[in-house]
A = this chain, B = another copy of it.
Amino acid sequence: SSKKNAADPIALPPGTSSEDFKEYIKKAVEIVGEENVTVINNKDELTKEHYTDPSKAHDMFHVFDKDYFVASAVIAPRKVSEVQAIMKLCNEYGIPVWPFSVGRNVGYGGSAPRVPGSIGLDMGRNMNKVIEVNESGAYALVEPGVTYADLYAYLVEKKLDQKLWIDTPDLGGGSVLGNAIERGVGYTPYGDHFMMHCGMEVVLPSGELLRTGMGAMPDPTQPHVEGGTLDQQPGNKCWQLFNYGFGPYNDGIFTQSNLGVVTKMGIWLMVNPGGYQPYLITFPKDSDLPKVVDIIRELRLAMVLQNVPSIRHVLLDAAVLGTKASYSSSDKPLTDEEIDAIAKKLNLGRWNFYGALYGPKPIQDVMWQVVKQTFGSIEGAKFFLPEDVPDKNAVLHIRAKTLQGIPTFDELKWVDWLPNGAHLFFSPISKISGEDATLQYSITKKRVIEAGFDFIATFTIGMREMHHIVCLVFNRNDAGQKERVHKLIRQLIDDCAAHGWGEYRTHLALMDQIAETYNFNDNAQMKLNEKIKNALDPNGILAPGKNGVWPATYNKQAWRLTAESSLSR
């Protein structure tokens, strides 16, 4: 990297001179106010390292240099018109901009941009209102900064939490909007967040404002906000009720993409089903996995399993309850015997299935009977309701909240399995089949252990597939571990691709590699993505490189990151 002016940020936007950057920042300050522009001048300022108070400028869980994926400045617009103005300004200066909502996308890069020196567009800092919770329509309309915890608190405050449930990921600190457009998952019957979203407001790379679905239809029956800009006007009354509208259905192209900045989103809320019973089933043996998975497939398809349950490897639960050091003095991957001992101590199985029944008692009874009978056919299976588990810290008590959409933060603890804990997520999709799950498990486990780490993972069960979430925990202050975990995840991607398995989401550093595995017919999908990208963003300013999609203004080959890439800028 070139010589740095004293006033320059750690990383200037690519191809931008110190002067142009200064000028850009001056104009940005005119738009959003001084207090909402932070130039990132100094590596020493990158001190935030924790989910609870996340960095807005760099990847807290970096395997590359700490200041590799770093913003030149973070800009936090106060309203939609300012987002539009910033997009126009970025076009004017050819400066890339990376929007994020809350910055808790940990394991996938946090708030950090793919292109060093991008502007970090902090959508959540000032735009964090629950615009509406509609009781009769059972939906919420939210701004980017609204977290699951915020939305839940809002329902509690309005005394609506007994009527309407939200759906939350394991942790409640993420953005409801940001998570849905990354196609994240939760665990109630509304666990597929993109499926359950309804209607978006989007600022296009050009700065133009769009509403999708029924939002594209003006609604003269809605109150008009005098003197308000268009984004401040209430939407069509069906905007949050019907996703598709008329003509091409565009919402999908604003997910996991770099085609728009989402400024509002509707999300469906689940009506209290009139009864709820969480449970845990433990399975003692490693080799129980295929049996468990095959039963799950049958029950999930038959809608006896009504939600997104999960099968957790015992070490994930163990890590929620303690550090590795609290269980063992080993600095090697734990052996099967050690793992069995931990399971015994925690009164858990090697595999632990957290599920729930939804509905009035008589409905639960029918479901429960089936659940007990089918899973009960597996030798050694044990059934637990929360009242059967005295330890108040036990994971079942956490999941009892999560599976009814009550946000928690407890599971954050597994990140501290190792000292100075950080993590990467490896998230391949698997068929819900005992054979597939076992093969995917054994291949990934083998590599994880070869690399010297413990295998910590969960399978979350979707409609017809599982997101296999492998949590690669490493010590962020240990250069050797960082190197190993980076090599490991690249190896896992290749191993899985060789079996036809692809990841659903990934870290900044791995986007190119994974995108290249989705290469049917000479990368036809990528060519389509690029065509659309170039049509909507001719200057290539919005999140270049996101999920491997590079605008024509970038030399893709030069920007690709591979196993051989330098970890410093």
Contact = CB atoms under 8 A, between A and B. Distances in A.
Given A247-B257, A547-B246, A549-B248, A520 B222 contact: no
A563 to B, nearest CB: 19
Interface stretch (A278-286, A324-332, A457-465): A457-465
Contact of A242 (B139, B253, B504): B504
Nearest to A222: B500
A212 interface: yes
B253 A220 contact: no
B198 A464 contact: yes
A248 B237 contact: no
A80 to B, nearest CB: 11
A515 interface: yes
Contacts of A505: 246
Contact of A249 (B221, B256, B519): B256
Given A431-B237, A519-B218, A194 B244 contact: yes
Contact of A363 (B301, B363, B521): B363
B499 A220 contact: yes
Interface residues of A, number: 101
Per assembly, the copies of the chain total 2
A213 to B, nearest CB: 9
A183 B301 contact: no
B246 A252 contact: no
A238 B520 contact: no
Most chain B CB inside 10 Å of its own CB: which residue of A242, A244, A248: A248
Interface of A: 136-139, 183, 189, 194-195, 198, 204, 208-212, 214-222, 230, 236-238, 240-242, 244-257, 259, 268, 271, 273-274, 297, 301-303, 359-360, 362-363, 365-366, 429-433, 436, 462-465, 497-506, 514-515, 517-521, 524-529, 531-532, 534-536, 547-549
5 contacts: A221-B500, A247-B529, A248-B529, A252-B252, A271-B302
